[in-house]
Amino acid sequence: MHEGCSGSFEDGKQVVDKVRMMGFSAQPMPLPMNLTCSDCDKEFPMETFESKCPHCGMVYGVTPCHAFDPANVMAAGKDY
């Protein structure tokens, strides 16, 4: 699915699955970032590698290698 920091993902579910598999989903990100939810358009802070929009339940993920840029955060689906 993904090898080291050089791989890529097809969708947010793959990102969240990888972060969960690596045991990083609940770990704090080096620098938290503010995201605008792609579903409800409300802003919320993303503080861990897997986060859920508190307004609508959309789940987001980013791998530790790519956590420096909000463009790398991908939505996995509501309550994924």
- Residue pLDDT, tens place only, 30-75: 999 999 999 999 999 999 999 999 999 999 999 999 999 999 999 9
Q: Which tokens go with 9? A: 């993902």
Q: How far apart are CA 54 and CA 69, in angstroms?
A: 21
pTM: 0.91
* Other Cβ atoms within 10 Å of 38 Cβ, number: 14
